[in-house]
Amino acid sequence: MNIMNEFEYETDLKLLGEVGRVSRDALDYSKHMIKPEMSLLEIASNIEDFIAQRGCSYAFPTNLSINEQAAHYTPSYDDDMIVKNGDILKVDLGARSADCITDCAITINVGNEPDKMIETCDKALEAAISKVRAGTTMQEIGRVVDDVVTLGGFTTIKNLGGHGVAKGELHAEIFIPNYDNGDDTQLEEGQVIAVEVFITTGKGYVKEGEEVQIFQKAQGMPRMREMREIAQFIDENYRTYPFAFRWLMKQFNSEFRIKATLNELLRSGALETFPVLVDDGEGIVAQSEKTVLVERDSCKIIT
């Protein structure tokens, strides 16, 4: 077997499977836990506590994107937003252990059974996964997703999609489209990928919003000592994984110091930001995602 993405040993793949079960269980937990009138902060805290109690770290802050938001919304430390009956809530989460990472997502019609849009998104994901095997091209996966979504009366989001997953790297190597983009890159046996479907009632594109609560640090330290303490904490606890502003507030409880540190890191090029992504036509967005291992004639679902 040609194991790609640095998952080179059976022990890695075994651990990846264990991490995948934690992620999958966290999604199942969220389905039953989330109720109308709950705050996003409570929901995120419950999910992240669940992952921690299962012995894993977070691959990234839990994304809780509502209605026209497609991705990257995680609550702030003082967020008072609640989910309402009928909200279309995307729950995107991941667990990690020893740099083995998984990524998965579901969409919940809060307080209700899944609607046609969610069912179409889930069908499109399953159709895409059925195509995953060594030799399948990116455009083949995208084409089958687009076919299912169009038949259901919705539109795929063209500037979002799936991605490779490597040890210690959440978004690696390849982009897996939700439409036929002409990419003839082939999957290879042993690759780990996140197949991620986004669909909308809108035009099929997302744009960056103003809200930013998720960050990722590269190498680099601020000059001032009071800022270096926060930067060092990020390095020691999150390394190059995405983290949330609210996580830093638990440790330092100083919005001013944290913002000053992050601004300095941003100016020096040592910080990446992840603005919330919103539908460019104010359409409602659904998401469905699973991490899988590419095999010779099929794939193995990890989450």
* pLDDT, tens digit (0-9, with 9 covering 90-100), for 130-163: 999 999 999 999 999 999 999 999 999 999 999 9
- Do both 198 and 59 map to the same domain? yes
* Among 78, 11, 19, CA closest to 45: 78
Domain assignment of residue 260, given as a range: 212-276
Predicted confidence (pLDDT) per residue in 182-220, tens digit: 999 999 999 999 999 999 999 999 999 999 999 999 876
DSSP 59: S
The pLDDT assigned to 4 comes to 46
Confidence of residue 290 (pLDDT cuts 50, 70, 90): very high
- Do both 249 and 106 map to the same domain? no
Query: What is the C-alpha to C-alpha distance for residues 124 and 197, in angstroms, rounded to an integer?
Result: 7
User: Mean pLDDT of all residues in the chain?
Assistant: 93
Confidence of residue 3 (pLDDT cuts 50, 70, 90): very low
* Helices marked H in the chain: 10-33, 40-53, 116-131, 138-151, 225-237, 245-252, 255-267
Q: Compute the average pLDDT of residues 267-282.
A: 94
- Do both 21 and 70 map to the same domain? yes
Task: Count structural domains, the chain.
Answer: 2
- Do both 90 and 226 map to the same domain? no
Q: CATH number, domain at 187?
A: 3.90.230.10
Query: What is the C-alpha to C-alpha distance for residues 165 and 60, in angstroms, rounded to an integer?
Result: 13
CA–chain centroid gap for 207, Å, is 17
Count Cβ atoms below 10 Å from residue 111 Cβ, excluding itself: 14
Question: Does 203 reside within a domain?
Answer: yes
CB 302 within 8 A of CB 20: yes
- Do both 234 and 218 map to the same domain? yes
Question: Does 178 reside within a domain?
Answer: yes
- Do both 63 and 45 map to the same domain? yes
Residues forming the active site: 92, 103, 163, 171, 196, 289
Question: Does 5 reside within a domain?
Answer: no
